[in-house]
């Protein structure tokens, strides 16, 4: 199968709707109120995304930096309102200000740009120097971060469950990677292809964190969103690639529902068919591959995943098995039938996804 060339950007958030649904039903108004408002804003932005897709997004003029393989970042401040993009507060090359959220967003966009350029020779999100724009301080106690097909948006969190969404650099990398997926495989955001979409975002979000910190696969914590959960929450992060299903177990949030293998695949109509839930399976396969190969995960393991994402053979409606087969072929093409090829086969076998 070949990738569908149709351009259908989707609205992607870091916090799954089922988590916000749980919070919205809490008897504690300090938790339920912000969660309900976040769900309402997400619904509005999702509708706006669909309308933009039908009408067509405005053309983006590329700056002269694009041809020079340089980032072109602009950070805006929504000042707790919801009009986008907000007021410009920092442009490319400008010195840091006093707002730590603005500075983290700027640095996170830069870290994402650097990994993609230096490791995968990709010039920004679209590969052609697309300006990287982000809005911070979005909404009142907004408990999410999202890529809307054109830019990044970060909430400050409610302070009770979620802290500032610019704190974890992998959250920034995750959402921007949804943009990379949009411009490449453009995976359908439902069921297994949707879970692959989320998994790509987690994988490269984690690699951006590891690259920034100079961590090997053995050094990394393989957590997504570590530092985002407030102290009252019993949990380490939003997700764990090393041990899916163990990121949190909290009286309010419930237990992390991610499976680590196909024996525990979750069939549900919620969360676009479980895109944030079943992504734990390909996430775990990537972790197992990176662990087996050792060294820097953004190198051999990351190169295999990136080759499939951008190679033009990954269909919009690809299943886990479709993707697994392509990674096996990519490993063979790049490295022959040696260690890498065998490690990819073993990783998928360990999570129960067939490769033949």
pLDDT at residue number 324: 98
Question: 30 versus 11: which is more confidently predicted?
Answer: 30
Collect all residues with Cβ–Cβ distance below 8 Å to 288 and sequence separation of at least 6.
Answer: 346, 347, 350, 351
Mean pLDDT of the chain: 93
pLDDT at residue number 11: 83
pLDDT at residue number 67: 54
pLDDT in tens, 247-302: 999 999 999 999 999 999 999 999 999 999 999 999 999 999 999 999 999 999 99
pLDDT in tens, 207-251: 999 999 999 999 999 999 999 999 999 999 999 999 999 999 999
Structural domains of the chain, with CATH: 12-183 (3.10.170.10), 196-224+231-350 (1.10.390.10)
- What's the chain look like in SS3? CCCCCCCCCCCEECCCHHHHHHHHCCCCHHHHHHHHHHHHHHHHHHHHHHHHHHHCCCCCCCCHHHHHCCCCEEEEECCCCCCCCCEEEEECCCCCCCCHHHHHHHHHHHHHHHHHHHHHCCECCCCECCCEEEEECCCCCCCCEEECCCCEEECCCCCCCECCCCCCHHHHHHHHHHHHHHHCCCCCCCHHHHHHHHHHHHHHHHHHHHHHHCCCCCCCCCEECCCCECCCCCECCCEECCCCCCCEEECCCEECCCCCCHHHCCCCCCHHHHCCCCCHHHHHHHHHHHHHHCCCCCCHHHHHHHHHHHCCCCCCCCCHHHHHHHHHHHHHHHHCCCHHHHHHHHHHHHCCCCCC
pLDDT in tens, 90-129: 999 999 999 999 999 999 999 999 999 999 999 999 999 9
pLDDT in tens, 21-69: 999 999 999 999 999 999 999 999 888 766 544 344 444 555 555 557 8
Active site residues: 175, 276
Q: 5 pLDDT band (50/70/90 cuts)?
A: very low
């Amino acid at each position: 199968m070949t990738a569908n060339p149709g351009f259908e950007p989707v609205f992607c958030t870091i916090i799954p709707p089922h988590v916000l649904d749980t919070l919205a039903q809490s008897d504690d108004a300090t938790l339920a109120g912000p969660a309900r408002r976040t769900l309402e804003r997400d619904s509005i932005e999702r509708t706006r995304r669909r309308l933009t897709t039908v009408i067509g997004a405005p053309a983006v003029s590329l700056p002269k930096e694009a041809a020079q393989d340089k980032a072109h970042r602009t950070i805006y401040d929504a000042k707790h309102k919801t009009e986008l993009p907000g007021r410009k507060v920092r442009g490319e090359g400008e010195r840091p200000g006093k707002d730590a959220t603005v500075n983290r967003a700027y640095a996170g966009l830069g870290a994402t740009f650097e990994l993609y350029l230096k490791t995968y020779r990709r010039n920004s999100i679209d590969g052609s120097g697309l300006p990287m724009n982000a809005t911070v301080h979005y909404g009142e106690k907004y408990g999410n971060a999202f890529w809307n097909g054109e830019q990044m948006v970060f909430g400050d969190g409610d302070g009770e469950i979620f802290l500032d969404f610019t704190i974890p650099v992998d959250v920034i990398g995750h959402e921007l990677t949804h943009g990379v997926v949009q411009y490449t495989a453009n995976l359908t955001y439902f069921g297994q292809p949707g879970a692959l979409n989320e998994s790509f975002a987690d994988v490269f979000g984690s690699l951006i964190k590891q690259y920034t910190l100079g961590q090997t696969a053995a050094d990394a914590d393989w957590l997504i969103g570590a530092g985002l959960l407030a102290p009252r929450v019993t949990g380490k992060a939003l997700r764990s690639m090393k041990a899916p299903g163990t990121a949190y177990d909290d009286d309010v949030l419930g237990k992390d529902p991610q499976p680590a293998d196909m024996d525990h695949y979750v069939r549900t109509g919620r969360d676009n068919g479980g895109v944030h839930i079943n992504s734990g399976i390909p996430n775990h396969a990537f972790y197992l591959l990176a662990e087996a190969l050792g060294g820097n995960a953004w190198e051999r393991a990351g190169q295999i995943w990136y080759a499939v994402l951008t190679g033009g053979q990954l269909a919009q409606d690809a299943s886990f098995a479709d993707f697994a087969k392509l990674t096996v072929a990519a490993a063979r093409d790049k490295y022959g039938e040696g260690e890498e090829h065998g490690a990819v086969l073993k990783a998928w076998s360990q999570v129960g996804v067939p490769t033949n």
